[in-house]
Amino acid sequence: MIRVEMLSTGDEVLHGQIVDTNAAWLAELLFQEGLPMTSRQTVGDSMEELVSVLTERSKVADVLIVNGGLGPTSDDLSAVAAAKAAGVGLVMQEEWLAKMEAFFAGRGRKMADSNRKQAEIPAGAEMIDNPIGTACGFALQLNRCWIFFTPGVPSEYKRMVEEQILPRLKARFPVSDPPVCLRLTTFGRGESDLASEIEPLPLPEGVVMGYRASMPIIELKLNGPASKLPEMEQFWQQVREIAGESTIFEGAEGLPAQLSRRLQEQTHRLAVSEQFTAGLVQYQLASVQAPLAAGNVLPSQDESLAELMQRAQRLAEADKVDLALVIGAEKENHLGFALFTPQGCWSQRVKFSNNRHGLKARQDVSAMMALNMLRRWLDGLEVTGGHGWIDVVETQRG
């Protein structure tokens, strides 16, 4: 099986000053294309470390995709490190240099001398076009490994991978059917609680069950070869039954996107009023083009569940919509919600067991509880249930 690895470069990535979204994106893409990544690592802006890692991985990997370090500044070291590792010099790509100069001239600017280094690649390397930036990529063979060097700018990097690197890999290496990944996301049950029921089930050979906890949800994943899909689906049905009503969606669509799609399909419009979540619910829904009416974010005020329900009804009537969702204020670890629908209004007050989670985590949980009330109504379930580890201390219906 082909061994594909990734090397991210840069002190800002190594020290966590920026999140390495490029690595996550590549891992997902390669997995879907039947070229799953074997490993990935990060190295800072050190010439010695870069040369050492390139040399080491070139003796192990079949393909190494290096991201970052092709810019015009002194800490962009990838091209020089590649040349040192290969024992060759750098060669100016006159065609690329002319393209860069034209790029700046077309914007009424003179190219800085520092940009010239972006047109230099190791002798014998293959230049790879960058249609939207100034840093050309390149590929070279070192020991057993085919190494691709890409810019760190996400838009440039993704374009280069999709249009040039991936086609080259598919042309050279046999690509198997992409592995299957079945996903299910739950809310309201703990990871250990779910695992205690799932782990005793016999897994099909070659299939792996995984768990990902990301406050406030738990994602369950079943990974395996496409040839095992029938057996995986039988196993997955048992997982569905264990997850039960805590399941908020399957696949990778996400709960806000799922709700947006379903609201549009059923021609509902939703108004939202928020206090504790400070607009988070409206932001999540607006980001996926949910059919929203004018909403609001209000300062904290002490309200009973009856008052929250009355406000939800007034909001729906004022905005001439059939659905309204209200998130109240947090007081002494208690928080109220109300959902107005054509079939009536539901409300609940929940209690956070403690304040060990920060404000953002509690707001994320509260936004999920509000969206989950709407999901449960759309699914025909009891609207005020299904929170598991979250204590529901009062409910009302009107």
- What whole-number distance in Å separates Cα of residue 172 and Cα of residue 169? 5
The pLDDT, as a whole number, for residue 398 is 85
Residue 142 has pLDDT above 80, yes or no: yes
Residue 73 has pLDDT above 70, yes or no: yes
Pairing of strands 334-341, 344-351: antiparallel
C-beta atoms surrounding 172 within 10 Å:
12
Q: Dump pLDDT digits (tens) for 251-304.
A: 888 899 999 999 999 999 999 999 999 999 999 999 999 999 988 999 999 999
At 371 the three-state DSSP class reads helix
Give per-residue burial for 173-190: e unless 16+ CB within 10 Å, then b: beeeeebbbbbbbbbbbe
The pLDDT, as a whole number, for residue 387 is 64
The pLDDT, as a whole number, for residue 229 is 94
Check: CB of residue 159 under 8 Å from CB of residue 151.
no
Element (H, E) at 194: helix 191-198
DSSP string across 312-357: HHHHHHHHT-SEEEEEEEEETTEEEEEEEETTEEEEEEEE-S-S-S
- What whole-number distance in Å separates Cα of residue 305 and Cα of residue 28? 44
Element (H, E) at 296: strand 296-297
In percent, the amount of the chain with pLDDT more than 90 equals 80
- What whole-number distance in Å separates Cα of residue 43 and Cα of residue 280? 36
In percent, the amount of the chain with pLDDT more than 70 equals 98
Residue 373 has pLDDT above 70, yes or no: yes
Element (H, E) at 265: helix 255-265
Residue 222 has pLDDT above 80, yes or no: yes
Residue 230 has pLDDT above 90, yes or no: yes
Tell me how many degrees the CA angle 393-397-398 measures, rounded to the nearest 5: 145
- What whole-number distance in Å separates Cα of residue 215 and Cα of residue 88? 49
Tokens found for residue 228: 């095992």
Tokens found for residue 220: 């369950």
At 9 the three-state DSSP class reads strand
**Which pLDDT band holds residue 392 (cuts at 50, 70, 90)?**
confident
Phi, psi of 37, rounded to the nearest 5 degrees: -70, 140
The burial of 165, by beta-carbon neighbours within 10 Å (0-12 exposed, 13-18 middle, 19 or more buried), is given as: buried
Largest CA distance in the chain: 78
The pLDDT, as a whole number, for residue 354 is 60
The pLDDT, as a whole number, for residue 217 is 87
Phi, psi of 382, rounded to the nearest 5 degrees: -60, 120
Residue 157 has pLDDT above 90, yes or no: yes
Q: Residue 219's beta-bridge partner residues?
A: 185, 212
Check: CB of residue 229 under 8 Å from CB of residue 345.
no
Q: Dump pLDDT digits (tens) for 311-357.
A: 999 999 999 999 999 999 999 889 999 999 999 999 999 987 766 67
**Which pLDDT band holds residue 386 (cuts at 50, 70, 90)?**
low
Element (H, E) at 85: helix 78-86
- What whole-number distance in Å separates Cα of residue 268 and Cα of residue 277? 23
Ordered by where they begin, the domains of the chain are: 4-172 (3.40.980.10), 180-250 (3.30.70.2860), 255-397 (3.90.950.20)
Range from 177-191, 214-228, 301-315 that averages highest in pLDDT? 301-315
**Which pLDDT band holds residue 215 (cuts at 50, 70, 90)?**
confident
Phi, psi of 339, rounded to the nearest 5 degrees: -130, 120
Tokens found for residue 131: 């249609």
Inter-helix orientation angle 229-243/191-198, to 10° = 130
- What whole-number distance in Å separates Cα of residue 264 and Cα of residue 291? 7
For residue 234, how many C-alpha atoms fall within 13 Å in the half-sphere facing its CB? 8
The pLDDT, as a whole number, for residue 71 is 92
**Owner of token pair 């065609």:** 95
Residue 55, CA distances (Å) to 37, 65, 144, 215 in order: 19, 14, 10, 39
Mean pLDDT score of the chain: 93
| Of residues 61, 57, 60, 78, the one with CA closest to residue 69 | 78
Residue 48 has pLDDT above 90, yes or no: yes
